[in-house]
Copies of this chain bind each other. A is one copy, B any other.
Amino acid sequence: MPDLAAIAARHTGSPFLAACRGEPHDTVPVWFMRQAGRALAEYREIRARHSFEEVVHTPELAAEVTLQPVRRYGVDAAVLFSDIVTPVQAIGLEVTIEPGIGPVIDRPLRTSEDIGRLRRLDAEEDLRHVLDTVSLLVAELDVPLIGFAGAPFTLASYLIEGGPSRSYTRTKALMFTDELTWHRLLDRLASITLSSLQGQIARGASAVQLFDSWAGALAPQDYERFVLPHSRRVLEELEGMGVPRIHFGVDTGELLGAMAAAGADVVGVDWRTPLDLARQRVPEHVGLQGNLEPAVCLGPFHQVAERARDVLARAGGRPDHVFNLGHGVLPDTDPGILAELVDLVHAEGVVQEPADDR
């Protein structure tokens, strides 16, 4: 096991960690969701020789693709290269990552009996390859490593639908017709997610992001009843581990308050909700991450610059803002644009002193 105190000491001056905690720092930190991936030629080169699964399951490869965007863009944090379904693959579910589609489950979970197929995850045993990747990265990186896991709802939606979905009809059908089974399922998934994140933190991840990517498909009252308790268990049990917890999903404009209430230090906001509006929907002590429209980065840099300045302005110079896109980097993005964007955020972002009441 690594010396966590030494790792923490190494990142004392990290603007990313300072922003997650709302503490004073000089430059606005920036990283990008899906910063490792197809936008980078050096990633595509590795993928030409190795499948997605091979990369995730080979620590040297997973570490290399995690490092690529840190070198290329000069971002303030690395994010573990992994997939939302990795932990359920690790306990024996047959999941294939189909290029251009996403995770596809051979035998979807749809009944009370199917839950039996989700056994407990022992992270050090079942996710050894992932945790070894974390160890390699922590030894190598000058910036903090963000651990990665899918939240119980988003995991459930993949397992129930059998793959990506537009309407999540089967997922919601289970939720609305068999609440007991639903909560049993989400409870198991919460345990799996928690174990995975605890394992990553124990190996030296300096922060975690809980991806509830598809929770925004839910009405607020359904989120609060069917999802929040399980995500809260994950986030609250991580609280004592001393690393910032980021909680993110798309389409979550009406859920931001609830996602903060689940126990987040920072709430990630997609591009639909301007940060000044988002600010009004989360408590004062919670930071915000986001939220440049990723597709803007497909266009010319002068437009990217204008929009990045708008994001910075709406963040209002608060010390608890982490600059990011509103969702993942699109594969067709020119990496040169992202590198320029990082420079702009560092050069132009102004961080005010934390208010006394924080």
Question: Which residues of A come within 8 Å of B, CB atoms?
Answer: 164, 166-169, 172-173, 175-177, 216, 218-222, 251, 253-254, 271-274, 277, 293, 295-296, 298-300, 303, 310, 326, 330, 332
Residue of A219, A220, A326 most packed against chain B (CB within 10 A): A219
Contact of A254 among B219, B274, B303, B330 (CB under 8 A): B274
- For A172, the closest partner residue in chain B by CB is B295
Name the B residues within 8 Å of A295 (CB-CB).
Answer: 167-169, 172-173, 175-176
**With contact pairs A251-B251, A330-B167 given, residues A177 and B274 touching in the complex (Cβ less than 8 Å):** no
Having A169-B298, A251-B251, one finds 9 other A-B pairs with CB under 8 Å, namely: A164-B166, A173-B298, A218-B272, A219-B271, A222-B293, A251-B272, A253-B253, A253-B272, A254-B277
Smallest CB gap from A304: residue in B: B176
| Cβ distance A317 to chain B, nearest Cβ, rounded Å | 20
User: CA A216 – CA B167 in complex, angstroms?
Assistant: 14
From A166, A176, A251, A300, name the one whose CB has the most chain B CB atoms within 10 angstroms: A176
Complex Cα–Cα for A242 and B332 (A): 46
Contact yes or no, B221 A177, CB < 8 A? no
Alpha-carbon separation in the docked complex, A345 to B332 (Å): 48
